Structure 1
Amino acid sequence: MLKIDSRSCRALHNIDATRRIEDAAQVALPPHTLMQRAGLAVAQLALAIAPHAQRIWIACGPGNNGGDGLEAAMHLQRWGKQPIVSWLGGADLAPPDAAASHRRAIEAGVTFAEIPPDSWDLCIDALLGIGAHVRAPAGRMADWIERINAGTSPVLAVDLPTGLHANTGHAVTPSVIASHTLSLLTLKPGLFTADGRDVAGTVWLDDLGVHPKSTSREGTSPTAWLAGAPLTAARRHASHKGSYGDVAVVGGAPGMTGAALLAASAALHAGAGRVFVGLLDGGSLTVDTHQPELMFRPVHLLDFKTMTVVCGCGGGDAIRTPLPKVLSTSSLVVIDADALNAIASDAQLQTLLIARGQRHAATVLTPHPLEAARLLGTTAAKVQHDRLAAAQQLAQRFDCTVVLKGSGTVIAAPGQTPVINPTGNARLATAGTGDVLAGMVGAHLAGGLNAFEAACQSVYQHGLAADHWPIGVTLVAESLARHAPSGP
């Protein structure tokens, strides 16, 4: 059993892939083996997270997820605990494995209660598993979920918190809000993006002794990867500023100069050799006395062919003027904010963007959900409903790397298995942090990483800085730009 943290890269499998892995294991193992292993794992984790708990309410659904809970109840009963099972199933209607577990729990002397107890030391949510839920829980199940969420004791979800979609991370109402989730067989993408991180709590994995790599079934490859800490090499002693590339930030329309300066500062502190700033406000600045390393140039004097261009931060409508030249001449581009909005509303700009992919020019788009929705011609709600799919659609449509920002940022690119980022928190929900990320991606591109690697590394480090932010100190974008971990 593993506690999942942000340091190690982990494979994520969607419902279909998990089912195939499960089916292959069922063929290779004696009947009922997986459910017995799952129940034991749940019981063991219950003891680990709440060692002093005596009264344990186990809410069991009618299917095999409920069977896992029944198995756990049997072990907890034998270990001297007081499990109380509320079961929505029936012996005549339950799947064979769950029915067998019900018989075993009865034989072990487990207490069953139609009405949930008034109090408990630990709750185990074994209501629903990885099925594709199309409707919100109703009736008794909904009532039980509300009881679970109203309690003050730890909640351990079996495989997924009930109401959370395994593939997308979309949580219906009501959904269980767990303090811990034990994912069985595989890790599911939905635990780490959209609503997943809010409802899953601390995530654990028990593969039940089944290793996907050992199966010969098609369709068991990872759906996505949970990003791990990037490997960074030390800078060579015999290097110089030219070794790490030039970044040009193009943005900062009137009233929005700060966005461009934040991106430029982030690029500088993320390791770019030189950083140029081309403001679109008529040249209000020629020097930043707080960061004299930044070099200000009129946009028309910047040589986009030799630079990594970060385009759009605070650009407003003014970004439409330089954007065609940026798209058509620069070999390395990060497109953010108002540049994304301009492309979404202009078919000619979309054609130029697609042409970049055809000539293998590196491009990274960094939209938040609303910007992604504009590019896809849909709504932000639909993007959030399936973030993995939306990021992949954008990557395919525009033939580039896409960073779909948000809880569990998704990085996608043609021909790549998408990556979900595990770092970051709600401290990043403040103005300017997206500009900082765009600058970091630009620095890593200029330093020699390919577009996908630059995006993955930047997003990870951006979130890691927020995770390490001092408690009680407000995170503001200017400080983030200066303190985010750098690349080589």
Structure 2
Amino acid sequence: MLHSKPLFPDALYSAAQVRDLDARLIAAGTPGFELMQRAAHAAWRAIRRRWPDAKQLTVMAGRGNNAGDGYLIAALAKRAGWQVTVLAVGDCAALAGDARSAYEEAMAAHVDIQPWQQQALTGIVVDALLGTGLKGDVRAPYAQAIEAINDSGRPVVAVDLPSGLCADTGRTLGCAVRADLTVTFIGLKIGLFTGDAPDQVGECVFDDLQADPDIIRQTPVSIKRLDTFNLPRLAPRPPTAHKGMFGRVLVVGGDLGFGGAALLATESTLRCGAGMVTLATRPEHITAALARFPEVMSAGVSSANQLYALIEPASVLVVGPGLGQHGWGRSLLSAAANASRAQVWDADALNQLATGAVRLPADSVITPHPGEAARLLGIDTKAVQADRPAAARALAKKFNTVCVLKGSGSLVANPAGDLALANHGHPAMATGGLGDVLSGVIGALMAQKMPAYDAACLGVWLHALAGEKCGASGRGLAAADLIPVIRQLLEEHQPCLS
């Protein structure tokens, strides 16, 4: 699981942007070899913090600047009295520029440098094979070297990025190193936080290598990483606050056999501060709804005609949790789609949207998981996961809406091209009902007059961090477990009273 540090910046960059940053730092007067030395020292400090009792290091080195970092780490470890071996997967004769200088420094430190010939890996293994420049799938001999690292059973530290992981998308390019620790430099890469990254990156440590902040600020940010210091703000409530000031949310869903989804969305809406909440669901579910939350106005509806009267006073609609794809759900969705209200669409509402049977109202939010996103875009799930940022932006543009692409490293996109990422979460969140909770959170924030994009960003962050906290207890997480934690987090970070 990837953990953010308190001092992580919120800017995420593509590999090309980080290379441009590196070039501009050099042009401004910092020699490239000095930057490489700073990177090696940063990695060496991180290794010693993580494994203070280790005394043995094996560096797997390629041919570019990533290998240069590895050679300098080897020299530092050797001078500290460690037993060090560099296994050169790339031809040392092909090293040039700063990487050649790093190789020569390792030689001067009397580091044992050998060609890689499937030797056993010992001690801490340093992945200095490929770095951020990889485009296509990993090829021989690097694919075999990555396999050897992953099969070694040794602790692994990746330099800048696990080899084989796409710096721009987090996609595994054929195969990728599974690191316990990744030390990354200058600018945080998008691919460290989404896609396959959480399985490959391990603990992430960032060092800006003392880069000039003015130069960093000149580079446009590709994606904003959501954190406590940059979240959209809910205004504190005045002492004279009353329920009419904070919106009325109508939750529409819960066909026969799926009533729980609508109840979860309703409860999270109620607990996140909506002034009034109404649930429109199958009449068979009303008793359960009243028993669970008597504060909610629960209405049994059998047809779209009965829904119109409930839509009229609503300021925001949450549509789709447990809606089903039969006639009942389709008729209710059609009525909602024709209402000029801000809406959050999830689950079966998205499946109907993908067929073209309905149109999404303005000022809305969609919250697809990768499978739903694939249906909405007319591609397969693998293509969505191969470039999650591009998929999120494509959905926002296609439907002229705010899109939350759920999954590891959830993304929020708007039609203007803005993109935000939440890097919290936990594997225990792999259970049913969490999306229903999220839709309710976002709907409640929109009802409190948050713009759709801001509500989605704050809602996704609250949901992900609550899942991370609840997941600390291990397997068996239930979606309802998140709701009180989300409420607590909202109050901690954005108090009701100023």
TM-score (norm 2): 0.90
- 1:21–1:212 CA contact under 8 A, matched in 2: no
Matched to 1:300, the amino acid is: Y
The worse-fitting range, judged by mean Cα deviation, of 166-175 and 192-201 is 166-175
Decide whether aligned partners of structure 1 residues 238 and 214 sit closer, same or farther in structure 2, where only a CA change above 3 A counts.
same
- 1:465–1:485 CA contact under 8 A, matched in 2: no
Decide whether aligned partners of structure 1 residues 335 and 405 sit closer, same or farther in structure 2, where only a CA change above 3 A counts.
same
- 2:157–2:181 CA contact under 8 A, matched in 1: yes
Residues 281-318 of structure 1 deviation map (CA, whole Å, 9 limit, x = unaligned): 35541552121112112323213463210001111123
Shift of 1:329: 2.0
Decide whether aligned partners of structure 1 residues 312 and 306 sit closer, same or farther in structure 2, where only a CA change above 3 A counts.
same
Matched to 1:331, the amino acid is: R
Which residue number in structure 2 is paired with residue 290 of structure 1?
Answer: 292
Residues 209-257 of structure 1 deviation map (CA, whole Å, 9 limit, x = unaligned): 224642586xx21110111023555433221222221111001112111
Q: Could you tell me which of 121, 126, 129 is aligned with 2:128?
A: 126
Which residue number in structure 1 is paired with residue 202 of structure 2?
Answer: 201
Decide whether aligned partners of structure 1 residues 132 and 144 sit closer, same or farther in structure 2, where only a CA change above 3 A counts.
closer
Residues 313-366 of structure 1 deviation map (CA, whole Å, 9 limit, x = unaligned): 1111233213233233233100000001101102x52xx32xx4xxxx421000
For the residues of structure 1 that align with 2:437 and 2:216, how far apart are their CA atoms? Answer: 43
Q: Secondary structure at the match of 2:252?
A: strand
The worse-fitting range, judged by mean Cα deviation, of 450-459 and 293-302 is 293-302
After superposition, where does 1:98-137 map in structure 2 within 5 Å?
98-114=99-115, 115=117, 118-137=120-139
Decide whether aligned partners of structure 1 residues 105 and 413 sit closer, same or farther in structure 2, where only a CA change above 3 A counts.
same
Shift of 1:38: 1.6
Shift of 1:133: 2.9
After superposition, where does 1:54-453 map in structure 2 within 5 Å?
54-114=55-115, 115=117, 118-139=120-141, 141-211=142-212, 213-214=214-215, 220-229=219-228, 230=231, 234-279=236-281, 281-282=282-283, 284-285=285-286, 287-297=289-299, 298=301, 299-304=307-312, 306-317=314-325, 318-346=328-356, 349=358, 352-353=359-360, 356=361, 361-453=362-454
The worse-fitting range, judged by mean Cα deviation, of 18-27 and 388-397 is 18-27
For the residues of structure 2 that align with 1:465 and 1:216, how far apart are their CA atoms? Answer: 32
Residues 85-109 of structure 1 deviation map (CA, whole Å, 9 limit, x = unaligned): 1112334322311111111110111
Decide whether aligned partners of structure 1 residues 5 and 416 sit closer, same or farther in structure 2, where only a CA change above 3 A counts.
farther
- 2:393–2:417 CA contact under 8 A, matched in 1: no
**Count of residues in Structure 1 that have an aligned counterpart in Structure 2:** 473
- Name stretches of at least 5 consecutive residues in structure 1 with no aligned partner: none
- 1:364–1:451 CA contact under 8 A, matched in 2: yes
Matched to 1:226, the amino acid is: R
Residues 181-210 of structure 1 deviation map (CA, whole Å, 9 limit, x = unaligned): 111111011111011111101111111122
Q: Secondary structure at the match of 2:204?
A: strand
Q: Secondary structure at the match of 1:389?
A: helix
Q: Secondary structure at the match of 1:58?
A: strand
Shift of 1:478: 2.5
Matched to 2:221, the amino acid is: P
Q: Secondary structure at the match of 1:228?
A: coil
For the residues of structure 2 that align with 1:150 and 1:255, how far apart are their CA atoms? Answer: 46
For the residues of structure 2 that align with 1:41 and 1:17, how far apart are their CA atoms? Answer: 21
Matched to 1:52, the amino acid is: D
Which residue number in structure 1 is paired with residue 482 of structure 2?
Answer: 480
Identity %: 36
Instruction: Indicate the RMSD between aligned Cα atoms, in angstroms.
Output: 2.1
For the residues of structure 2 that align with 1:101 and 1:284, how far apart are their CA atoms? Answer: 69
Moved segments of 4+, more than 6 Å: none
For the residues of structure 2 that align with 1:247 and 1:174, how far apart are their CA atoms? Answer: 46
- 2:4–2:423 CA contact under 8 A, matched in 1: no
Shift of 1:410: 0.5
For the residues of structure 2 that align with 1:422 and 1:232, how far apart are their CA atoms? Answer: 21
The worse-fitting range, judged by mean Cα deviation, of 266-275 and 129-138 is 129-138
- Name stretches of at least 5 consecutive residues in structure 2 with no aligned partner: 302-306, 491-495
Shift of 1:413: 0.6
Which residue number in structure 2 is paired with residue 45 of structure 1?
Answer: 46
Q: Secondary structure at the match of 2:72?
A: helix
For the residues of structure 2 that align with 1:208 and 1:11, how far apart are their CA atoms? Answer: 16
For the residues of structure 2 that align with 1:301 and 1:31, how far apart are their CA atoms? Answer: 68
